Structure 1
């Protein structure tokens, strides 16, 4: 199974999870870079506003053919209960060429169900699996999150056996 993990990460939590999943599936990773500054108080407020209003942003170009992969796993942090503008922009521009998909989110304590629905709607297809991990569990490398990640990875592997 040729796998690509596409993700956006502002604080490093989603990046950490993407790398864990990538290592377990022997997949490549592609970090989506948002051209807007999302740091500091103003960046934080703009990020929340853009997420709530379903705004898009400008992302860096990448040179990968998504259709060459069997599976594209898409990861995003949850901002105000929604997916990030960078992942929204990625999906709007690439949904037509996506092969099978799976999703994962990181969050501070909930709100992932709405974001997962947004991911599915924008991708235009049902995911093979979904994973949502609270950032505090990810930071402390809890056995709960490890089990959830392993179950997610096993589900994906089973789909391609």
Structure 2
């Protein structure tokens, strides 16, 4: 089974979890980069407002062909209680995703808010089947047990649906 992990990470937390998932399932990693020319603080403030509005932004890669994968995993930090505009743009940029199973995870410093519901909406709007969601607090990123639990949940969700 070929799994592709598509994620956006600003501080490295989401990247860390995505790498654990890729190691556990021999998955392909695709990191989404925000093409905006803001400094780090300005990017966060401007993009949080965009996250609230569930907007999209220019990203690299601009198109992602996932037709060769059986299942997809999406990862994002939580901004304004939602996934980032960059991961929204990435989901919108997918080619060959229709009918595939997908799951999503988020990393957060407070609460995940509506991130799971928004991820599910975006995934299903692209014709995929959302089979699960998970989240992990930034304080637990380095906790191998908590990270393993999240990875197990996501991989179990992928294999069970």
Does TM, scored on the shorter chain, surpass 0.5?
yes
- Superposition deviation, residue 22 in structure 1: 0.4
**Bigger proportion of residues as strand:** 2
- What are the equivalent positions in structure 2 for 1:71-150 lying under 5 Å apart? 71-94=71-94, 97-98=97-98, 99-112=100-113, 114-124=114-124, 125-138=128-141, 140-150=142-152
Offset at residue 37 of structure 1 (A): 4.0
* Alpha-carbon distance between aligned partners in 2 of 1:121 and 1:17, rounded to the nearest angstrom: 22
Q: Which residue of 2 aligns with 1:49?
A: 49
When the two chains are superposed, the root-mean-square deviation of aligned CA atoms in Å is 2.1
Q: CA deviation at 1:49?
A: 1.3
TM-score (norm 2): 0.86
1:93 is displaced (CA, Å) by 2.8
SS of the counterpart of 1:83? coil
Partner secondary structure for residue 67 of structure 1: coil
> Runs of at least 4 residues of structure 1 off by over 3 A?
37-40
SS of the equivalent of 2:94 reads helix
Aligned mates of 2:60, 2:32 — CA distance in 1: 7
Q: How many residue pairs align between the two structures?
A: 157
Any unmatched runs of 5+ in structure 1? none
User: Equivalents in 1 of 2:64, 2:16: separation in Å?
Assistant: 22
- Give the helix-richer structure, 1 or 2: 1
1:62 Cα deviation after fit: 5.8
CA distance in 2, matches of 1:134, 1:39: 25
- TM-score, normalised by the number of residues in structure 1: 0.86
CA distance in 2, matches of 1:8, 1:34: 8
| Structure 2 unaligned regions, length at least 5 | none
Q: Which residue of 2 aligns with 1:13?
A: 13
